[in-house]
Amino acid sequence: MSGYGLLAEFDSPDALLAAVRAAREAGYRQLEAFAPFAVEGLDEALQLPRSRVPLLALLGGIAGAGGGFFLQWYSAVVDFPINSGGRPLDSWPAFVPAMVELGILGASLAAFAGMLLLNGLPRLRHPVFEAAPFARASRDRFFLCIRGADPRFDAQRTHAWLQQRAALSITVLPAEAP
């Protein structure tokens, strides 16, 4: 049984991009790439699907705004109707500002929570952290991980293939702790 996978270190985003493209041509599908900043083209190279964060944010915004308006209307008209300055109970224009703020709040919370959710964060333990070189993944190194679960994965051949890609280092990642 192969472990989590093989982690190859590169010294530039270009090298990483090249490696990723090559790996896909070689038929590898379960790839993970790591970079200290968002590298242009990486998403395409990995052929990642469109992010669903915007959708979540939209729903959050609608919930916030709708809920906010309903809360105001309900409390002012139904639950505690009271004559305030001779204004009608449902003076809706006055309800707009709070509604807007609550809408924005809903969208923001949804966007942030959605980002964490879709990224599976927070997650403090992960096999890649076991690799010594990975400490530089947040500094100036770029990594490609070919997952052991990949059908085309073979400990020796994949290792050799990576070496041809001029990886600075190749680390065998142990399986995830149960």
Q: Which residues form the interface with other proteins (CB under 8 A)?
A: 13, 32-39, 42-43, 46, 48, 51, 53-54, 57, 61, 68, 71-72, 75-76, 79-80, 82-88, 91, 94-95, 97-98, 100-102, 104-105, 107-109, 111-112, 114-116, 118-119, 121-126, 128-129, 135-140
Contact 151, 3 (CB under 8 A): no
Residue placing its CB nearer to other proteins in the complex, 16 or 162? 16
Residue placing its CB nearer to other proteins in the complex, 134 or 161? 134
Instruction: Tell me how far the alpha carbon of residue 126 is from its chain's centroid.
Output: 16
Question: From the CB of 156, what's the least distance to other proteins, in Å?
Answer: 26
Question: From the CB of 74, what's the least distance to other proteins, in Å?
Answer: 9
Other beta carbons within 10 angstroms of residue 58's beta carbon come to: 14
Instruction: Tell me how far the alpha carbon of residue 99 is from its chain's centroid.
Output: 29
Residue placing its CB nearer to other proteins in the complex, 55 or 155? 55
- Cα–Cα distance for residue pair 133/173, rounded to 1 Å: 12
Residue placing its CB nearer to other proteins in the complex, 87 or 157? 87
Question: From the CB of 111, what's the least distance to other proteins, in Å?
Answer: 5
Other beta carbons within 10 angstroms of residue 157's beta carbon come to: 11
Residue placing its CB nearer to other proteins in the complex, 1 or 80? 80
85 CB contacts (<8 Å, ≥6 apart)? none
Backbone angles phi, psi at 92, to 5 degrees: -60, -35
